[in-house]
Amino acid sequence: MIAVDGARASARATRPEAHVGAGTAVHLAHRALARGPAVMVVDAHVESRLPGSLTGAFAARLVHRGRATVDSARHLAALLERTGARSVFIAGGGSVIDVAKLAVASLDDSRLLGAIARHGRDRGVMHRGAPGSEASLFVAPTTVGTGAESSTGLVVEVASGGERFAVLVVAPGTGIEAIAFDDDLLRLPDPLLRDGVYEAITRVAAAAFESPSSLPLADREAYDLLAALAAVGRRIGEGGRDDGRHAAFPRDSIAVDAALLSSASHSGWALAGRGFAPSSAWFIATELSMALGVRKAAALGLAFRPYLETFLTPARATRLQSIGAALGVAGEPSAIDDALTRLLAPEPVTRAIDAEYVADRVVRRFGRAGPLSPELARERIVAILAAAETRRRTS
């Protein structure tokens, strides 16, 4: 996800409370209920892990399945209005959290959802105005990687003409009051855990590589965060792989550690002072993921090395050395990519990459007056995607 510049984000929202450990999600749910009418939004995959007596105490409950869409946000917004909810308890992954954030945001901006639906095909980034009175959000994330629980933005998908598009909505305040990193809910199948750590590492690494920070502390924190994420990745590797059909239950709370670190990439200083969109890799991977119908991590796995090679300059080569040192490998695109690819859960990508088509999507949706880096001319995007297609064919 794109990181909103930390200097501006700090003026927009206070950092949510963080609670860690088994049972903390239930504690947050009770806090939400204490505010008055409250709505629960829960991922269908984890609904059974919450006490039945708890779910029945809410004014309404929405079980979410699938992606974050305008329709799902509109449905939840209507539910919030009908119940007069003063708080929302969310137990779910990035798409569930983003649906709730968007629904609450739309209560203050009646035109927001319509604008996303109308313009999402051609505009990859939208901004909402300053929030008014919003319901408080209490969040228990159940996946790793997006950092949606601590990001000042959200991502929603729109469909148009048989195509899918991801829209980043930048919000000045998300309304998230507290987060619970609960062992009971962070039980992830091996592939999802691997992909989440991979996405968090590449988010921090790409930003630190491409965009120097104006804050001296930011680089130090970014490298420390990468080292910690790499250590989690090694622990995952030492545990072996499962077949993805059942949840792995790490003895040493790997998933909780991974979730905390992923969240810290947004809530800490690592991405601060690097501008609104510090990583061009996000634009390419987002459009590639949508065009191919694959996970974001799978798209990044194809495009990350060509991206590093394309953006490499003497100054960035120095930063890449520091990134490699943090990850415990040589500071070269090939060594860094090889190490990260070993972490990534394999996902066969059967559709060929149409480099011209995907490049057109990137430029149309993020270029012109958008946040796309001036360095990323269309020809360079095509070259990155052509190299990604070569990797796909030979993998």
For residues 241-249, give the mean pLDDT.
46
For residues 32-44, give the mean pLDDT.
96
pLDDT at 395: 82
pLDDT at 238: 79
Which of 181, 215, 239 terminates a domain? The answer is 181
- Same domain for 177 and 196, yes or no, is no
Which of 181, 203, 224 terminates a domain? The answer is 181
- Same domain for 176 and 241, yes or no, is no
Quote the domain boundaries for residue 148.
Answer: 6-181
Tokens of 239: 């545990």
- Same domain for 286 and 359, yes or no, is yes
- Same domain for 139 and 244, yes or no, is no
- How does pLDDT run across 285-302, given as a tens digit for each residue? 999 999 999 999 999 999
CA distances from 255 to 183, 204, 392 (A): 8, 18, 29
pLDDT at 260: 96
- How does pLDDT run across 330-343, given as a tens digit for each residue? 999 999 999 999 98
Total tally of structural domains belonging to the chain: 2
pTM: 0.91
Output the 3-class SS for 159-188.
Answer: EECCEEEEEEEECCCCCEEEEEECCCCCCC
The distance of Cα 260 from the centroid of its chain, to the nearest Å, equals 13
- Same domain for 243 and 266, yes or no, is yes
pLDDT at 216: 85
Q: Is residue 1 part of a domain?
A: no
- How does pLDDT run across 71-103, given as a tens digit for each residue? 999 999 999 999 999 999 999 999 999 999 999
- Same domain for 132 and 268, yes or no, is no
- Same domain for 245 and 274, yes or no, is yes
pLDDT at 131: 62
- Angle ∠(233,294,283) on CA atoms, nearest 5: 80
Q: Is residue 127 part of a domain?
A: yes
For residues 133-138, give the mean pLDDT.
83
CATH classification at residue 364? 1.20.1090.10
- Same domain for 31 and 156, yes or no, is yes
- Same domain for 353 and 297, yes or no, is yes
For residues 156-167, give the mean pLDDT.
94
pLDDT at 202: 97
- Same domain for 145 and 194, yes or no, is no
List of residues 6+ apart from 337 with CB closer than 8 A:
304, 305, 308
Picking from 123-137, 238-252, 260-274, 296-310, which range would have the lowest pLDDT averaged per residue? 238-252
- Same domain for 232 and 96, yes or no, is no
CATH classification at residue 45? 3.40.50.1970
Which of 143, 162, 181 terminates a domain? The answer is 181
- Same domain for 237 and 334, yes or no, is yes
DSSP assignment of 90-139 equals: EEE-HHHHHHHHHHHHHHH-TTHHHHHHHHTTT-SEEE-----S--EEEE
**pLDDT, averaged across the chain:** 90
Listed residue (46, 47, 96) closest to 76, CA to CA: 96
